[in-house]
Amino acid sequence: MRVVFLSPSYPPEMVQYTRGLAEVGATVYGVGDTHRSALPPEVRAHLHDYLQVPRIMDEDDVIARVSAWLRGREVDNVLANWEPLVILAARLRERFGIPGMSADTVRGFRDKQLMKERVRAAGLRVPRSRRVRNEREMRAAAEEIGFPLILKPIAGAGSADTYRVRDARELDETIPKMRGIPEASCEEYVEGEEFTFDTVSIGGVPAYENIAAYLPKPIEMRSIEWISPVIITVRDMAQPRFAAGIELGRNVLKALGMGDGFTHMEWFLTPKGEAVFGEIGCRPGGACLVDQMNYTGDIDLFREWARAACWRRFEAPTARKYNTGIVFKRALGRGRITRIEGLGAWLRDAGRWCVEERLLRPGTHRRDWKQTLLSDGHVMVRHPDWDEAHRLSFAAATGIKMYAE
């Protein structure tokens, strides 16, 4: 199996997917704009060859360069697990006549308005929404949909540049923030809890499924600085309250024509128990979510994704052993981190249930919390009992404090 893998070293978690491909027997041809000499040794060890391109986001240029580079050689698949590159991967598959999801199919996972239209056409519950390109269209959509509403980029990832708008005054304040975004989605704000539905799918059928709870909702995680975002994978997915969300997720995969690989969907559970579609990507969830899923079942999904993408098989056990919580911390203040309080006490409390502690150390510049959910590092804990996993996660959220100046 000869595989072209786009951007094998960036974002950093792509290193693990490159490893996974090599470990399931793929011959990996990497393509990226990272200089060959700057590739991490653990990436170079798993690459058969590598093409450096000037700009990995310049789709037409990349297609021309890859076509010239591979002239006289055959490849069996082109893959990407970074959101901005999934359409490029599909276009390359079409260029080489490789079976797989077409560029049009992949656009249904990338363009948030097209996505909702296709899901709605399948008879599934989605928020009311409109595509907007300028202030006039934003105001017209707000008038039609009503407050509260959400404004977010059509092709965004995560919750970047996403705003909750509660009234006309907030709309006036938000419109200037959207002026650098060529297309946006204006949509109904859905009250309720927010969860993920993650899969590794083969032919659109999940071979592996996961649910994780956002505590609080991502829109709040990304808009209130003092919050320590918490995400917890759910051990017991057979709970009746999740049945509608799982059914919704499986039907969304059918509606959008999913093929092989990771999907990451977000959905809402309303106070009345209704499951409402949020959005979906044909790629893995970010912010260490795949690591959480690995800890949940003691498996290696980096490798199993590669096995599914290359050989259409999934061999890891799917039994879920733990609820796994990740807590992202944000330092108070600006500049360099000066101290961390409460970590030692929390580590003693968590004991063997703490599986990762990766907080930035004093002397390190704090990160821009608006640009990355990773914030200033994280702790991760797992436990077979939901209440204990939840307690330990929120003990870290409230008890560990980082300071910067």
* DSSP element (H, E) containing 245: helix 243-256
Concatenate the DSSP letters of all residues of 113-124 into one string. Answer: HHHHHHHHHTT-
pLDDT of residue 323: 98
29 token code pair: 């041809």
- Average pLDDT on 273-298 reads 97
On the question of pLDDT at 169 being above 70, the answer is yes
- Average pLDDT on 259-281 reads 97
On the question of pLDDT at 285 being above 90, the answer is yes
The whole-model pTM stands at 0.92
For 362-372, b/e burial (b = at least 16 CB within 10 A) is eeeebbebeee
pLDDT of residue 191: 92
For 281-302, b/e burial (b = at least 16 CB within 10 A) is bbbbbbbbbbbbbbbbbebbbb
Given the structure tokens 């006549």, which residue do they identify? 97
Alpha carbon of 319 to those of 103, 229, 326: distances in Å?
Answer: 34, 27, 20
On the question of pLDDT at 17 being above 90, the answer is yes
Give me the amino acid identity at 201.
S
pLDDT of residue 219: 80
CATH of region 128-188: 3.30.1490.20
Closest CA to 7 of 83, 94, 100, 91: 83
Provide the 8-state DSSP code for 322. -
Measured distance CA(44)–CA(37) in Å, rounded: 9
241 token code pair: 């309250």
Closest CA to 46 of 33, 29, 34: 29
Measured distance CA(210)–CA(212) in Å, rounded: 7
Provide the 8-state DSSP code for 366. P
On the question of pLDDT at 261 being above 80, the answer is yes
* DSSP element (H, E) containing 355: strand 354-359
Strand pairing report for 261-269 and 275-281:
antiparallel
Provide the 8-state DSSP code for 65. H
On the question of pLDDT at 184 being above 70, the answer is yes
Where in the chain are the domains?
2-100, 128-188, 191-321, 323-405
Q: Do domains 128-188 and 191-321 have the same CATH topology?
A: no
CATH architecture, range 191-321: 2-Layer Sandwich (3.30)
The size of the chain, in residues, is 405
Contact at 8 Å (CB) between 69 and 51?
yes
User: How many CB atoms are closer than 10 A to CB 237?
Assistant: 15
CATH of region 2-100: 3.40.50.20
On the question of pLDDT at 157 being above 90, the answer is no
- The interaxial angle of helices 243-256 and 103-110, nearest 10 deg, is 140
- For residue range 111-153, what is the model confidence (pLDDT) as tens digits? 999 999 999 999 999 999 899 999 999 999 999 999 999 998 8
Three-state DSSP at 231 gives strand
Given the structure tokens 């090599």, which residue do they identify? 22
Measured distance CA(400)–CA(391) in Å, rounded: 13
Sign of the alpha-carbon dihedral angle for 45, 311, 197, 256: positive
- For residue range 391-404, what is the model confidence (pLDDT) as tens digits? 999 999 999 999 99
Give me the amino acid identity at 239.
Q
- For residue range 307-360, what is the model confidence (pLDDT) as tens digits? 999 999 999 999 999 999 999 999 999 999 999 999 999 999 999 999 999 999
Measured distance CA(386)–CA(233) in Å, rounded: 9
pLDDT of residue 162: 85
pLDDT of residue 158: 56
Three-state DSSP at 95 gives helix
Average pLDDT of the chain? 95
Residue 160: which pLDDT band, with cuts at 50, 70 and 90? Answer: low
Contact at 8 Å (CB) between 33 and 58?
no
Contact at 8 Å (CB) between 57 and 31?
no
226: exposed, middle or buried (C-beta count within 10 Å: 0-12, 13-18, 19+)?
Answer: exposed
Residue 154: which pLDDT band, with cuts at 50, 70 and 90? Answer: confident
80 token code pair: 């990407």
Percent of the chain residues topping a pLDDT of 90: 89
Given the structure tokens 């949940």, which residue do they identify? 296
